[in-house]
Amino acid sequence: MMAVMTDSVFPLVAPKDYDEPSVFQVDGLLREARRQRGLGDRAVPEVCLLDPDGDVVRHLVRAGRATRHEDWACYHSELWVADCGGRDIGVVPCAVGGPYAVLVATELHASGCELVISVTSAGQVLSLGAPPYFVLIDRARRDEGTSAHYLPPSEWATLEPGLATLLIGAFDGLDEPVVSGSSWTTDAPFRETARAIAAAEAAGVHAVEMEAAGLYAYATATGARVVCVAHVTNTMAVNGDDFEKGEDGGTRRILAVVDAIAQRRATAET
C-alpha cells in the first residue's frame, strides 16, 4: 500500500495536554445512565475482574454461582457478582481491547471498586513454558492508542511498583504457574506480522494481548489500582490445538489467581 503524504498531523501522535481535565466525565455518564434506567447507586464489589473472553462469567452463570448486579450503570456491559475466596467479586465479561477495558475500569472505580484485575487470553512470544500458564504483567509495550491519551510517549506502561512488591510470592502453590513478565499490547491482533513479533522478541516480550498498556497508563495517570495478568493459551494458532484453558474454560484457575491477588490486598490493608 502506497503511503499518502499530507501536511496534516496524525492526531494520535499530536501533542496532548496530559494535565488538562476531560470535559466528558465518568460521573456524568453514570448519573445519566442511572436517571434513564431508574437505577440505584448500590456500590460494586471492591475487587472486580475484567474477563475479556467471557469464559468465567459463562461458567459461573451456568453453574448458578453468579448474580447480575442490577444497579450497574454502564451502557455497554453487564456486571456479575460471584463469591471468590469468601468475598464478593464483580466480573465484567468480554471487555476486549484497550479503549473498552479502560472505559469499564474507569466506571468500576467510580462505582466503588478499589482494585480492577484483568485476566486476558494471550499469545506466546518468548516462551516461559508450555501453555497454558499465567504471566503477571509487570510492563506492557505500548503498541496501541489508548495509553497515548493518558501518558506522554514512551515504550512501556508499567504495573504500579507498590502492587508489584505486594504480589511477590502471592501465587506460590497455585495449580497453574504464574510468572512475572512483559507483554506487547496491540490494537490489531491480525497484524501480528513476523517483523512485529521479532521486534517484540528483541524487546524481551513474553506475551501479546490487547488491554494491559491502556489499563496501566490509565492507572498511572489517575492513581487507580489495576493488575493485569496474561493467560498464555496459544501460539497464535499457527500449530493447532491452541486456546486451550483447561477444565471449565480455566475458570477455577483464573479465580485462584484473582483470589491470591485479593488476599494480598486484604492482608495489606489490615
- Reference 111, options 119, 123, 103; nearest CA is 103
Burial class (CB in 10 A: 0-12, 13-18, 19+), 52: buried
**CB contact at 8 A, 209 and 112:** no
| Average of per-residue pLDDT across 58-68 | 97
Band of residue 7 on the pLDDT scale cut at 50, 70, 90: low
**pLDDT value at position 88?**
98
- Reference 100, options 136, 75, 123; nearest CA is 75
| Average of per-residue pLDDT across 219-246 | 89
Q: How far is CA 32 from CA 102, 103, 106, 108, in A?
A: 19, 16, 16, 16
Q: Distance between CA atoms of 142 and 144, rounded to whole angstroms?
A: 6
The domain made up of 42-268 has a fold known as Rossmann fold (3.40.50)
DSSP H or E run through 168:
none
| Average of per-residue pLDDT across 203-223 | 98
Cell numbers given for 93: 465479561
Question: Domain residue spans in the chain?
Answer: 42-268
Q: Per-residue pLDDT for 231 more than 50?
A: yes
Per-residue model confidence as pLDDT tens digits over 124-147: 999 999 899 999 999 999 999 999
Tell me the Cα Rg of the chain.
19
- Reference 143, options 116, 113, 183, 103; nearest CA is 183
pTM beyond 0.75: the answer is yes
Per-residue model confidence as pLDDT tens digits over 246-255: 788 889 999 9
Per-residue model confidence as pLDDT tens digits over 28-46: 999 999 999 999 999 999 9
- Reference 106, options 22, 239, 222; nearest CA is 222
DSSP state of 268: H
**pLDDT value at position 3?**
46
What letters, b where the CB count within 10 A reaches 16 and e where it falls short, cover 208-235? Answer: bbbbbbbbbbbbbeeebbbbbbbbbbbb
Band of residue 5 on the pLDDT scale cut at 50, 70, 90: very low
